[in-house]
């Protein structure tokens, strides 16, 4: 009898550990995006207006690389997310500021039907202008300290411009599901809580275009992948 009680207790303890909050049963994908081949010339843009805020020259900002050619601001998502995966409800604010006459951050991800708050921290007038294919077009002037919320209903990649400062470009990636990521300065991305299987990755970068990769993960086993992109 005592042996059965001990066995039952161990079983209950094991089940409690398995299903305790914060413990994941899923596997993960960990990867990075890198540039291969020659590094394209970095673009410089002469600034001829509003120099008292914008300065006299800007980096184009459309190709950010580490010394090891890790690629920043690449967007990675699962082309075949797990069955039943839905677009998540927006859980936190997504903001894109206009600061120093550049969009910061340059690339944001928002779930479908989510909202981006556009800010203006500069002491001059900007505007936000977009002509997406699936979402509603907008063109709004924006003085300093005014927040303009824009809701994006359908998944697509939307370019944002400031018509008053032609070098200013930002990107809103409207996500169809929760498995989207933006690479940081080290080029890395990760997806967690996935069931075992083979996954197709889609990668987009504003200057380098698109790339694809696939990775297979097992139960409790991380899949690792390096996605290579080339300059056109």
Q: How far apart are CA 215 and CA 226, in angstroms?
A: 10
Q: Residue 11 contacts by C-beta under 8 Å, 6 or more apart in sequence?
A: none
Q: How far apart are CA 46 and CA 87, in angstroms?
A: 41
Q: What is the dihedral of CA 174, 171, 114, 137, to 10 degrees?
A: -90
Per-residue model confidence as pLDDT tens for the chain (232 residues): 444 343 344 334 333 333 333 334 479 999 999 999 999 998 899 999 999 999 999 999 999 999 999 999 999 999 999 988 877 778 889 999 999 999 999 999 999 999 999 999 999 999 999 999 999 999 999 999 999 999 999 999 999 999 999 999 999 999 999 999 999 999 999 999 999 999 999 999 999 999 999 999 988 778 999 999 999 8
User: In which element (H, E) is residue 151 found?
Assistant: strand 148-152
Look up residue 38 and give its DSSP letter: P
* Four-residue CA torsion sign, 140, 142, 146, 151: positive
For residue 25, the model assigns a pLDDT of 47
CATH class of 26-229: mainly beta
CA 128 vs CA 56, 136, 161, 191: distances in Å: 22, 13, 6, 32
For residue 20, the model assigns a pLDDT of 37
Q: What residue spans define the domains of the chain?
A: 26-229
Q: How far apart are CA 66 and CA 183, in angstroms?
A: 12
């Amino acid at each position: 009898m005592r042996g059965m009680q001990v066995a039952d207790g161990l079983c209950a303890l094991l089940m409690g550990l398995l299903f305790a909050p914060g413990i994941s049963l899923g596997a993960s994908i960990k990867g990075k995006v890198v540039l291969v081949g020659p590094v394209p010339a970095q673009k410089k843009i002469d600034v001829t207006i509003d120099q008292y805020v914008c300065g006299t020259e800007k980096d184009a900002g459309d190709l950010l690389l580490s010394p090891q050619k890790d690629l920043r601001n690449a967007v990675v998502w699962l082309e075949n997310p797990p069955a039943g995966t839905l677009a998540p409800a927006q859980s936190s604010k997504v903001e894109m500021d206009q600061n120093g006459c550049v969009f910061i951050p340059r690339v944001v991800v928002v779930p479908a039907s989510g909202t981006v708050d556009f800010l203006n921290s500069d002491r001059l007038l900007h505007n936000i202008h977009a002509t997406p294919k699936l979402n509603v077009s907008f063109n709004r002037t924006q003085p300093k300290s005014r927040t303009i919320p824009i809701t994006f209903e359908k998944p697509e990649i939307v370019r944002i411009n400031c018509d008053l400062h032609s070098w200013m470009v930002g990107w809103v990636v409207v996500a169809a599901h929760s498995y989207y990521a933006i690479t940081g300065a080290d080029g890395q991305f990760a997806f967690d809580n996935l069931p075992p299987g083979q996954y197709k990755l889609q990668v987009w970068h504003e200057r380098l275009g698109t790339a694809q990769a696939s990775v297979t993960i097992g139960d409790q086993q991380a899949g690792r992948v390096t996605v290579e992109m080339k300059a056109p």
